[in-house]
């Protein structure tokens, strides 16, 4: 099994060297560990709404200096979840320059130029999902620590390359699954993990629609091509850099319903719909609560989806809008998952012997007996989950702490890979019209279904690879 994985990674590296797209295919750079008095130079790669959110938290940390902002888009007016907030590298440069009262922030279109700069210690990757793995692996080969947005990958095989690169180059890697830094989720996971509500055999998980505004606009749009907008300048090279490893549409078309920022979520060439957008968050908590961070379920079952309904999807926007499925673990634990409309809430409800425990962002509802339970009530032999008192609830500061302290943060690379894997398995089953797929979490292979197994390998296009 190992040799198959190595062969896969080797093929990717060879393809990239031949194409000349990757810049850091050879080399053994190690992640630099700053001393306590050193500043950590950080580059922001991907200047959209999430990039702005993360960047704001990093700039509040006096140890960090945002030195570079990078995006093939200079300035786009039509951007963000409301399609009205300007974004792009030039907008971010103005924001960073204003903050530091300077004009030296580097505004760079091509991330390879950022990675080639030895002054950069760490990168935040806040591009669409289709770019995460390529940029992260190149960054790690260049010795940069990585804060990578969730879902960490577009497909399962990408996670292997990311895990290997982090190990090989001694990188601190934080996946942007910030629920790991939120006390309500940690408390819920500790209660389940320690059996404080008795036996817990199941859970029901509702996943929010991915950004309602984008969703509504997206599904009412047709998929006719438009001229490439002026925010890509020069148009052809920046447009290519935006699409990167995603398979291009005919005649290299710009299709607003897919290619306007945020909308990439709804094409399988670039994203994985709401199953991955929110599944990456909530399945991460499920795995944490079950102690499955380095493993995973053995099957996805009872898959129901509208992914093949022509009233909902087309060949461009091909992701499920409504869906239900079960995540089944080896010990029989079953998590029933559905979209917000089907389940009626966004969050996780654990069904335990002594009652239900519900957790969502800022919400924690538990039976009377446990409602006032505090983490300080944990006993010596209880499982105590990762917490960072210095970073408090800030996932970005937790990453910075981990870099200075030479360790991994709250959500390291393998954890992000395993959570994303569940999203990908559910999407594979849905896309192939399977009622179920069986998964071997040790070998990381789909069992007894060659077609589904073939879909765990991501194909990168346009000469991009590891």
Question: Given the complex with ligand NAD, which of 206 and 299 has the nearer CB atom?
Answer: 206
268 binds ligand NAD (CB under 6 A): no
Piece of the chain touching ligand NAD by CB under 6 A; list 64-72, 92-100, 157-165, 424-432: 64-72
Task: Identify any residues that bridge with 69 across adjacent strands, giving them in sequence order.
Answer: 44, 107
| Smallest separation (angstroms) from ligand NAD to the CB of 250 | 21
Which uninterrupted H or E stretch holds 413? Answer: helix 413-432
Residues 6+ apart with CB under 8 A from 187: 359, 364, 373, 375
Contacting ligand NAD (CB under 6 A), which of 129, 184, 301, 414?
Answer: 129
Residue placing its CB nearer to ligand NAD in the complex, 273 or 297: 273
CA-CA distance, 346 to 279, in Å (whole number)? 10
Q: Is 176 in the site for ligand NAD (CB under 6 A)?
A: yes
Work out which of 59, 71, 159, 204 binds ligand NAD, going by CB under 6 A. Answer: 71
Tell me the closest approach of the beta carbon of residue 175 to ligand NAD, in angstroms: 9
Helix axes 49-59, 89-100, angle to 10 degrees: 20
State which H helix or E strand residue 13 sits in.
helix 2-19
Options 68-76, 160-168, 220-228, 323-331: segment touching ligand NAD (CB under 6 A): 68-76
Binders of ligand NAD in range 135-174 (CB under 6 A):
149-150
C-beta closer to ligand NAD: residue 131 or 160: 131
Shortest gap between Cβ of 198 and ligand NAD (angstroms)?
32
Q: Is 197 in the site for ligand NAD (CB under 6 A)?
A: no
* Of 261, 279, 296, 412, the one binding ligand NAD by CB under 6 A: 261
Closest distance to ligand NAD from the beta carbon of 376 (Å): 29
The first and second tokens of residue 192, run together, are 């389940």
Rounded-to-integer distance, Cα 20 and Cα 22, Å: 6
Stretch that binds ligand NAD, among 91-99, 247-255, 261-269, 422-430 (CB under 6 A): 261-269
* Residues facing residue 13 across a β-bridge: none
Q: With 0-12 CB in 10 A as exposed, 13-18 as middle and 19+ as buried, what is 307?
A: buried
Give the binding range for ligand NAD (CB under 6 A) out of 25-33, 121-129, 302-310, 437-445: 121-129
Does residue 245 bind ligand NAD (CB under 6 A)? Answer: no
Our measurement of the distance from residue 281's CA atom to the centroid of its chain's CA atoms, rounded to an integer in Å, reads: 9
Helix (H) / strand (E) containing 416:
helix 413-432
Q: How far is CA 237 from CA 226, 240, 416, in A?
A: 17, 5, 32
Residue 252 tokens, joined:
């290299």
Of 16-55, binders to ligand NAD (CB under 6 A) are: 45-51
244 binds ligand NAD (CB under 6 A): yes
Q: Which member of 105, 126, 218, 267 binds ligand NAD (CB under 6 A)?
A: 126
Alpha carbon 12 to chain centroid, angstroms:
21
- The CB-of-50 to ligand NAD minimum distance in angstroms stands at 3
Q: Which of 58, 92, 131, 209 binds ligand NAD (CB under 6 A)?
A: 131
Contact call for residue 111 and ligand NAD (CB under 6 A): yes
Out of 40, 70, 203, 425, the residue judged to bind ligand NAD by CB under 6 A? 70
Cβ-based nearer residue to ligand NAD, 114 or 300: 114
- 347-352 β-sheet, strand order: 363-365, 355-360, 347-352, 200-207, 334-339, 323-328, 299-305, 437-440, 445-447
- Looking up tokens 């300077």, which residue turns up? 102
Residue nearest to ligand NAD (CB): 48
User: In this structure, what are the phi and psi dihedrals at residue 192, rounded to the nearest 5 degrees?
Assistant: -65, -45
Q: Which is nearer to ligand NAD, 70 or 426 (CB)?
A: 70
**Alpha-carbon gap, residue 65 to 46, rounded angstroms:** 17
255: its two tokens: 């299709």
Instruction: Confirm or reject binding of residue 178 to ligand NAD (CB under 6 A).
Output: yes
**Residues written for the chain:** 466
Pick the piece of the chain touching ligand NAD (CB under 6 A) from 238-246, 342-350, 428-436, 438-446: 238-246
Q: Residue 324: is it exposed, middle or buried by C-beta count within 10 angstroms (0-12/13-18/19+)? A: middle
What residues line the site for ligand NAD (CB under 6 A)?
A: 45-51, 70-73, 87, 111, 126-129, 131, 149-150, 176, 178, 241-242, 244, 261-262, 264, 277
């Amino acid at each position: 099994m190992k040799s198959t994985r190595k062969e896969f990674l080797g093929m990717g590296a060879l393809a990239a060297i031949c194409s000349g797209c990757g810049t850091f295919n050879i080399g053994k750079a190690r992640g630099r560990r700053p001393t306590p008095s050193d500043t950590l130079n950080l580059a922001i790669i991907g200047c959209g709404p999430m990039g702005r959110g993360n960047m704001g938290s990093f700039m509040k940390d006096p140890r960090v200096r945002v030195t570079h902002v990078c995006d093939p888009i200079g300035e786009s007016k039509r951007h963000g979840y409301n399609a009205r907030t300007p974004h792009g590298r030039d907008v971010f440069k103005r924001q960073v320059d204003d903050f530091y009262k300077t004009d030296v922030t580097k505004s760079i279109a091509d991330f390879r130029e950022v990675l080639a700069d030895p002054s950069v210690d760490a990168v935040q990757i806040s591009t669409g999902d289709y770019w995460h793995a390529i940029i992260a692996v190149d960054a790690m080969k260049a010795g940069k620590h990585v804060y990578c947005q969730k879902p960490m990958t577009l497909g399962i095989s990408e996670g292997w390359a990311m895990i290997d690169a982090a190990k090989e180059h001694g990188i601190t890697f934080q996946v942007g699954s910030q629920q790991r830094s939120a006390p309500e989720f940690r408390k819920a996971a500790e209660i389940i993990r320690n059996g404080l509500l008795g036996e817990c055999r199941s859970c029901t998980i509702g996943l929010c629609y991915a950004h309602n505004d984008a969703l509504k606009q997206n599904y009412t749009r047709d998929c006719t091509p438009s001229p490439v907008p002026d925010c890509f300048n020069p148009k052809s090279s920046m447009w290519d850099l935006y699409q990167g490893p995603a398979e291009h549409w005919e005649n290299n078309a710009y299709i607003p319903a897919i290619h306007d920022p945020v909308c990439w979520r709804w094409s399988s060439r670039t994203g994985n719909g709401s199953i991955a957008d929110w599944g990456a968050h909530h399945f991460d908590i499920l795995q944490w609560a079950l102690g499955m961070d380095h493993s995973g379920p053995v099957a996805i079952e009872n898959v129901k989806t509208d992914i093949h309904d022509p009233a909902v999807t087309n060949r461009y926007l091909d992701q499920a809008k409504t869906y239900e499925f079960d995540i089944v673990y080896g010990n029989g634990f079953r998590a029933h998952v559905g979209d917000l409309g089907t389940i009626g809430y966004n969050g996780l409800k654990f069904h335990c012997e002594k009652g239900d425990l519900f957790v969502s962002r800022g919400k924690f509802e538990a039976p009377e007996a446990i409602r006032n339970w505090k983490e300080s009530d944990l006993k010596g032999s209880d499982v105590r989950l990762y917490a960072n008192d210095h970073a408090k609830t800030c996932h970005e500061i937790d990453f910075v702490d981990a870099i200075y302290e030479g360790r991994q943060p709250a959500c390291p690379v393998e954890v992000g890979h395993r959570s994303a894997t569940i999203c990908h398995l559910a999407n594979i089953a849905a896309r192939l019209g399977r009622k179920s797929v069986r998964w071997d979490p040790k070998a990381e292979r789909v069992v007894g279904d060659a077609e589904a197994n073939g879909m765990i390998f991501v194909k990168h296009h346009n000469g991009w690879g590891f």
